[in-house]
Amino acid sequence: MFGLFKKGKHQRTYITDIHSHLLPGLDDGVKSMEESLEILTYFIELGTSRLYTTPHIMNDLYPNKEAHILSVANNLRKEITSKGLAIEVNVAAEYYLDEILLDRMDNDDNQLLTFGDNYLLFETSFFNLPFYLNEFIFKAKSQGYQPVLAHPERYAYIQDSYTLVEDIVQRGVLLQINTISLAGFYSKPVKKLAERLVNDGMVHFLGSDCHNINQFNALNEALKSKCYQKALDLPLKNYSL
């Protein structure tokens, strides 16, 4: 995850962060190149050498296009090189699940922005279970994508019905929790659900979901969490990225 290491018997195992909003000016994440570079410097100080930043693609609020995202990422990489920063920044996206995404999967010839083994990071409404969730899962998997649900612990409809997340996993969706959820950054119910997911071994990825300096600072509290340490002992797919 965000560049920490897990102590083993004879070595420490690196984890790659797979969820952040560090491309300037694209969404509710960092607003400037300077802010992005500052946060990346802090990641480096933690030991991070690789991350995947994932701007929102959400039609109403952040109608980003993949080509533009890649262009901004290239500009950031140039700045990283010019500053001599020792970090590899890759890019994917966090797709909002709506009818437009479903239509794109049917009609768009362009590949969606994924990471790793064609992992497709997506999010849903925070309040209502999407009517077309099962359709999306079927389409994604039939087209060779591996869907990854971002921060399930933050969705009220999952907090109200834990069996929903169990069903989602049974349908082949991987789960990514936000590490700062374990520090109670969002709320007590979010922390409680994140801890339950860890304790039940239902976490496949850890991600910082870092948008700004305040959220980065919250990581320090998350590192003190016993549940965070327990999460590091899970067979996280971060380790293979």
Model confidence pLDDT, tens digit, residues 205-223 = 999 999 999 999 888 788 7
Domain, as residue range, for 169: 2-240
Q: What is the mean pLDDT of residues 4-16?
A: 48
Per the prediction, the chain carries an average pLDDT of 91
Q: Quote the pLDDT of residue 45.
A: 85
CA nearest neighbour of 126 among 170, 158, 168, 174: 158
The domain that contains 54 carries what CATH number?
Answer: 3.20.20.140
Q: Quote the pLDDT of residue 1.
A: 47
Model confidence pLDDT, tens digit, residues 127-170 = 999 999 999 999 999 999 999 999 999 999 999 999 999 999 99
Domain count, the chain: 1
Q: Quote the pLDDT of residue 14.
A: 52
Q: What is the mean pLDDT of residues 185-201?
A: 97
Q: Quote the pLDDT of residue 219.
A: 82
CA nearest neighbour of 33 among 78, 88, 67, 64: 78
Paired residues of 180 in beta bridges: none
Contact 1, 238 (CB under 8 A): yes
Q: Is the pLDDT of residue 2 over 50?
A: no
